[in-house]
């Protein structure tokens, strides 16, 4: 049959210290719940598409209503709300303005 794979644990590393990344993105519902509960891993806290979707839902806007405000299609809104989306800073700023929120972008050393 298939080969058996075992995980190699670095010497002295506990299970808690090992952080495995997910092979597939979380659903929005799971991400949103974990975010509310403060249980998201650090690397998942700033998923641009899901943050945009959260802002839209917090503003009680449908995709179509937001699309009209932004002058884009409903399909473009849907694509921007996906885990793998890569929206521009300008789109995020306009999006959040339309949702009554603001974008804070910071670079720190």
Integer Cα distance of 67 and 74 in angstroms: 5
pTM: 0.73
108 domain residue, yes or no: yes
Count the Cβ atoms, other than its own, within 10 Å of residue 85.
Answer: 16
80 domain residue, yes or no: yes
The range of the structural domain enclosing residue 70 comes to 48-109
CA distances from 84 to 18, 25, 50 (A): 24, 8, 9
What is the DSSP code (8-state) at residue 43?
G
pLDDT digits (tens, 9 = 90+) for 64-103: 999 999 999 999 999 999 999 999 999 999 999 999 999 9
Give the CATH number, domain containing residue 68. 1.10.260.40
Integer Cα distance of 57 and 77 in angstroms: 12
């Amino acid at each position: 049959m298939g080969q058996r794979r075992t995980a190699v644990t670095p010497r002295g590393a506990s299970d808690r210290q090992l952080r495995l990344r997910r092979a597939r993105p979380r659903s929005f519902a799971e991400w949103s719940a974990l975010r509310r509960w403060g249980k998201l891993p650090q690397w998942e806290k700033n998923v641009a598409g899901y943050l945009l979707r959260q802002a839209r839902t917090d503003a009680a806007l449908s995709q179509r209503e937001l699309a009209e405000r932004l002058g884009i299609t409903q399909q473009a809104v849907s694509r921007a709300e996906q885990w793998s989306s890569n929206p521009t800073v300008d789109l995020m700023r306009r999006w959040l303005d339309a949702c009554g929120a603001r974008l804070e972008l910071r670079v720190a050393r």
